[in-house]
Structure 1
């Protein structure tokens, strides 16, 4: 056993899958934190591109935000589906608050707290259809995935019960 400073159970074995991380999770899927991070980062990239090109949020943000939400719900572990369903409004709020505060609408350039709050509200209300599309898609996809897993677990339990009953009926 080579002495490389790591205990045996922490060394990567040949042919084993890569170790789990907070973002990528395991082969089972993304963690809820990883999914939220994915949506915030991809949405922020879309917000930055839109802010640079159009001076407010438009198409790039909407498309990337909705796509990231759909990707998150498709890749997240089944046990974390509830967290992903409530995540789009929170991620949307974080992104639009930052955009409304950092990149105020070009309406006179005042920088008071009241004007910043109005800018944040403006960004949130103006882009509500993006949030609505993301929430509806995420909720439908999460419900479909959750139902599929529930049926698969029920079938697996039924087949295990049937095989156990067959073993009990067989003479020794």
Structure 2
């Protein structure tokens, strides 16, 4: 049996919403650090984003793994668009077209961190889902054999 966790206070694990919120907060901290240090998104955001996505996939309840698998592109888009609006790469006053180009280039230039995070999350989700399926089958078999054994014990001979 797994111990209770600090974040979820139960053995069940995080919900998809809780995992998304944690990834969003950690990624926002990484994006803020990148903007403060480098002036745009860089490796701090990428590393924290990937680590947060993988950690959330590891700690999320098995029933919520589908939600966690679709989470990285959504959070990635939210963070990069927010950074593009709040801190445009080409400076201010460029107009809507320049801002759209800046946001598009940020989305494209940071795509490797998104791809790495998405692939790792999908891999973790598939492994965890397979293990959960095998464990459920084993529990069902054990319950069926126990029921059969109990039924045989009570049949008159």
TM-score, scaled to structure 1 = 0.83
Alignment match of 1:124 (pick from 107, 115, 129): 107
Quote the offset at 1:109 in angstroms: 3.8
Question: Which of residues 136, 139, 145 is equivalent to 1:156?
Answer: 139
State the partner residue of 1:90.
74
- Corresponding pairs, count: 151
Matches within 5 A, 1:1-172: 24=8, 26-105=10-89, 107=90, 109-170=92-153, 171=155
Check conservation: 1:69, 1:134, Cα contact below 8 A.
yes
Q: Distance in 2 between matches of 1:47 and 1:109?
A: 19
Structure number with greater CO (CA < 8 Å, separation at least 6) is 2
Q: CA deviation at 1:26?
A: 3.3
Deviation of residue 149 (structure 1)?
Answer: 0.4
Give the 3 Å change call, closer, same or farther, for CA 25–117 of structure 1 in structure 2. Answer: farther
User: Structure 2: how far apart are the matches of 1:48 and 1:108?
Assistant: 17
Where does structure 1 lack aligned partners over 5 or more consecutive residues?
Answer: 1-17
- 2: distance between equivalents of 1:108 and 1:29? 43
Please give the alpha-carbon distance, in whole angstroms, between the structure 2 residues aligned to 1:95 and 1:152. 37
Per residue, is there more helix in 1 or in 2?
Answer: 2
Distance 1:65 1:108 in 2: 25
Aligned-pair RMSD on alpha carbons?
1.7
TM-score (norm 2): 0.91
- Pair 1:108–1:49, CA change in 2 (3 A): closer
Structure exhibiting the larger radius of gyration computed from Cα positions? 1
